[in-house]
Structure 1
Amino acid sequence: MSIFNIFTRKAAAPLAPIVEQRATLANSSRWQASKASLEAIYPPLDPGLPVIDAEQLLHGAEAKLKRLVEIAGGTASEFERLYMTPIRLLASHVHLLPATSSSHYSGPGGLFNMSLDIALMARQAAEGKIFVPESTIEERHRTIGAWRYSAFLAGLLSQLHLPVGQMTVTVADGTQWPKYGVPLLTWLKERSADRYFVIWHEKARVTGAEGASVLSAIVPPEIMNWLSQTDSQIIRDLNVAATREMLAADSILGKVLNGVIGRVKEVEALQHPARFGRLTIGTQFEIHLLNALRELIEEREWKLNDPNGCLFWGSDGLYVAWPRGLEDVTSIFAKRQLKGMPLSSVTLAEMLGQSGVVIGKDTGVWVHDIVVGAEKYVVSAMRFKDPAVLLGHLDFQPVPSPYGKAMVEAQAEQLTLAAARTVDAVNTPRAAGAAAEQPSALVADAPTTQVKVTTSAASPSANKESSAHKVPPALVVSTDSVEVGGDSSPHPGKRVPQDWLKRLKMKDDDDTANALGMVIEQSLAYRGDRVKVLDWGVAICVNWLTNTAGYDLADVLNPLERVGVIARNPQEKGVALVSKVVFSDSPTPRMAFAVKLDFAAKVGMAIDAKV
């Protein structure tokens, strides 16, 4: 091709521009295919509550119903008519409605379970109460059964008016439940609904009519007529309970109910899932583990304080023998078909420890040594911060002695020292001579402690007392008249700062607050024979606090340990709460516990000198 042709050739037509279609989600075939089965929406949609048969609610409350049978007694037909009929009607009326939007009993079935818990506790609390004190004995005997039963009904009704008045219940098409006309479950079945939804109006004004409608819906007319014929005051009290918060001033029934409601809500707060760590997406194993432990206790699989058992409750707290109880817990997991649950005793204990339910050691170990049985076996166990987390409303009582190994050893030493001191006081020639000269003499036991010594000849009862305590017949040492010298104020608990009283959950006139206040006073007086400042904490002599001052060691140690202010001796192995310390009045080490230096400074102890 010549140069001329290059310049004379016509230019080629320009290529048409390629125009791409604008990106949209509608153009994505993959997007359109997956949208048909879309489930992951954020924020999540309210899934609503399922429509289930009312009997399922009763099966879920089986343990509570068994306890009600034990408390109420009676024949099978009477129990069915008086107790199960109102409970079934309540389950049908409120179904799975929650009691609150976000606080107590806020889960599905919360309103039903809260009402049942209060009714159960009220029926139990009614035992031994005299509801009509001004009536004759014959009249009380005639009406007592009806009044005790009315406590159950009042508990069942007492909390229904508020949530029912503050919520609107709808089905998928927006139709609202006519709460004054028909039970919720009946209405849902009439509309063939499979789910329903709750809308909260927490600022709505509640008139009380809501409770009145529930009263007529769950208490059959024949029961109301029987109660009215027995005592018309019962009907008035039930109407008050159904329509507003019943006050202690209303009546004796109101006083019973008022105390029960507070306790039920307190236990619910302790057992609420949110308390065992922040609620997260995924399985919260702690809840299943605690439920398994509760089932073993409620079903009496574990007997309290059985040396061969797993549950021990003493003056120093509630213990679950671990890993002794692991096999029973895993059997509950298997029965409930729980999948993915860890089966290691160490892992399960750590879960409860990290959730703040059990008290661990500074080393990160979540079990303690306890001493059980007459043979003093040492068993490892988890120690729970609050017994109500497991025991709930069960009517159990702790034994007055501790189970923790360190506490048992400290108590044994206290008893040995007290016995030795008593014998010394009795056998001291000076004390005996003074007693011979004067029938009632005061013998100095310590610089600020006085023990009253009485001769057996002074009173015939003295011989009996001395024999009971195995004290030589010449003298009887009475510890009832022990008096602390003038170095303690009448109300030492007022020395404890208010913020620490609140953290320790005590009042300034409680024994524990007074004990702590007395420790502060002895510290300020530089009483090195009682309170000694060390490099790692402030040590308090156990013998002085319990024998001289008269306070219970467990009552003082438990709240201090709960808020984490107990100091451990770094020179000793282990993490015992009590260790041996040399105080200023003797070279012999004595049992003591210690608090951290920063805590001591904050509550006003003198930490500027080691005495």
Structure 2
Amino acid sequence: MLALRALLRGRGPSAYKAALGPIEAPNVPRSPRAVSYPPVDPGFPSRSVDEILAPHDELIARIKLCYGTDRTAFEREVLAQIRNYAACVHLLPATADNYFSTPGGLLRMGLEIAFFSLQATDGQIFSGRSTISIRRELEPRWRQATFIAGLCHEVHRTLSHVVVSDDRGEQWPAYLLALGTWLRSRRADRYFIRWVPDAIETRSLGVFALPQIVSIETLQHLAAGNSAIVPQLMASVSGMTGYRERNVLDELVRRSAALVIDRDLRALAQRHGKPIIGSHLERYLVDGMRRLAASNPAWKSNGEKSRVWFGRDGLFVVWPNAAGDMRRLLDSERMPAIPHEPESILQVLLAAGVVEPRSETEATWSIRPPGSSEAIDAIRLSSPAVLFGDIDDTPAPLDACLLHQPAQRPSHVREPQDAPEAPPAASRLREDTQGQIPLDLDRTAQPAPAASAPVGRAATAAGLPARRFRLNAPPRLNPQVREALAQIADSLNGPASEAAAWTVSQGLFVPLAQLERRRVDPPIAVRSLDAAGMLVAPSAGDSKTAFHDHSGRRIAGVIVAPRFIDGLDPHDFVIDPPARG
């Protein structure tokens, strides 16, 4: 106020400076570290537990309010574990450059997961088979165990992701004592961390850090009068899911962890403008796959119509069918931020190295399980342990290879070298209106007659530009049918043996089985395509279903008018019905 009066009276800057007093220079460290180039890692300061927890007082107060006990019980049952956890993780970040990557990030992450897990226990029934009186007696212990599981959900990182050393280069023995205790014993002012390159997330290591946080007296208190709380607590901390009995505690913790990480990533995007999407989802997707493999009959290895096939050439999971199972499982548990599209799920698994892509441009493989009449799409896992890591009795692989080897074109059949002039389509197709137009997609078909216009690889061999096939459907088409049909049309651009449809004289023949493989009900697909005016009636009848002989088999399907497939020339076909209103 004095400075403002000085300025208003016109005394000038000198009076303003006098009113403010001497201006001190900012407290810049004068150690050689601060002025050296290239810069030297300043490390992390050694602080007491009270100093470390001070920035989190507000969150701790919310935890106390949510826990709902008196001060003495809160300090004994909750605050003691918080202080032990703070001493264990100190100011360590949770990740090097991802979520909770700032100093103290691992502490904050544990506190937030613990708070949301505790909050989620309201209204939950943990011991459903017990009597009401027993449930009432055990409920406070379940709440305490859930809080501890959330707090220690990421403590395994101290043992697997970082190496801590002091000024003298001595490394922290993380298995022996807490980081704060070690720093006091070393009388270290600062410490430094080195991130382990390509560290593998091994949550089972968390059980070795748990004694630094939870006392044996606390475990005994949780175990009194029951045989479920401590086993489920340990299963959650170690990441080992039990399949005989539902682990509600672990479900709450995993859901809270996903929520907390997603919140921090969104805040990180707002602060720095560059979101890191999907980087934390691998654990939940892999965990979902493992639980399906252990409990879902459709995921039994090498069974009839199984999602999982294990052969000499690797472990395969049928795709995108498996993605639908994973999404439904995680949606039923209300896991946040889980992608819904199979392509997005696959991208997360690819980025995490869980799935081996077929090539730089193709992620899925074509396999042909024993007894299957046709090849199916599947993803290949990088290791059987990805899926069977938690199963004691690992299934034995088939004594056969599963990869589909496409039939080779006979040596006497050659691609046309010259593109002969094609006669008018009407005169060419009038000779055989039920014949198949050779699109060079069906390798088992007869060689193209000289009158056929070269397309696909034949066009490339003839020196003509190759066609690119793409669906061009009306906007009113059912979205699910549109996506499936777009995938089928796109298959025409790949290897001929993997084409999901082929041309006939009236248009593109799409087998109903190909629609069903893409989780589209054939009757719904037929009605949607017909309502959009995209189908060609095979005869004068009302039926929109056509039958076609292909590779010695009679196949049911529909005929899509060629004008809805970019890359097909409608003039090469007999019938192209007008669009419906």
Same fold (TM over 0.5): no
TM-score (norm 2): 0.42
